Amino acid sequence: MEGGAYGAGKAGGAFDPHTLVRQPHTILRVVSWVFSIVVFGSIVNEGYLNTPSEGEEFCIYNRNPNACSYGVAVGVLAFLTCLLYLALDVYFPQISSVKDRKKAVLSDVGVSAFWAFLWFVGFCYLANQWQVSKPKDNPLNEGTDAARAAIAFSFFSIFTWSLSAALAVRRLKDLTFQEEYSTLFPTSAQP
């Protein structure tokens, strides 16, 4: 079998940024990365308010500091996770062992599914806290667009991370097929 996209036949080849950028999982990772920047950026920049009568800042989401903290923490950690897996995507063609490739893709499946769940929790939490916020806490509607943007991009992130998990499952199936093929036909797998 000629070296497939997931087999060891392509390992050690030159890095091709054009191919990397055109891969669906790389595009989804970049989109997820941007969404995480929007979420934590919106909350950090305009998610905290203060009134002249109070010297202390409070969270725009129902004065619940945990809501702002959760949004920022999930956003920053998702940002870092996206960077880590983008680096793995760059390094992936250099991995020669099918078993190591399988481990990398399995971690991608688990991490992507976990992040889809965290974004779902974050969306529900932020939307709930925004729904029960009192208008008297923010009479000038300061930061409301940023709060809504954080909620919306939390919602969008559920789908980007879920789709990333689905693509990783597809990659895992392709990789498992490659491994089984190499086991069944060891002589034809050699160039």
SS3 category, 189:
helix
Regarding predicted confidence, which is higher, 185 or 23? 23
Pairwise pLDDT comparison (17 vs 137), residue with the higher score: 17
CB 159 within 8 A of CB 131: no
Which amino acid is located at 142 in the chain? Answer: E
When the pLDDT of each residue in the chain is averaged and rounded to a whole number, the result is 86
Q: Which amino acid is at 184?
A: L
Spatial contact of 33 and 133, defined as CB atoms under 8 Å apart: no
Whether the pLDDT of residue 3 is over 60: the answer is no
pLDDT in tens, 9-43: 455 566 788 888 999 999 999 999 999 999 999 99
Spatial distance between the Cα atoms of 69 and 64, rounded to a whole number of angstroms: 9
pLDDT in tens, 97-119: 888 888 999 999 999 999 999 99
**Single-letter code of the amino acid located at 108:** D
pLDDT of residue 95: 84
Please tell me the pTM assigned to this model.
Answer: 0.83
Q: Are 72 and 12 in contact (CB under 8 A)?
A: no
Mean pLDDT of 36-57: 88
Q: Which residue would you say has higher pLDDT here, 173 or 184?
A: 173
How far is CA 145 from its chain centroid?
Answer: 23
Pick the residue with more confidence: 106 or 138? Answer: 106
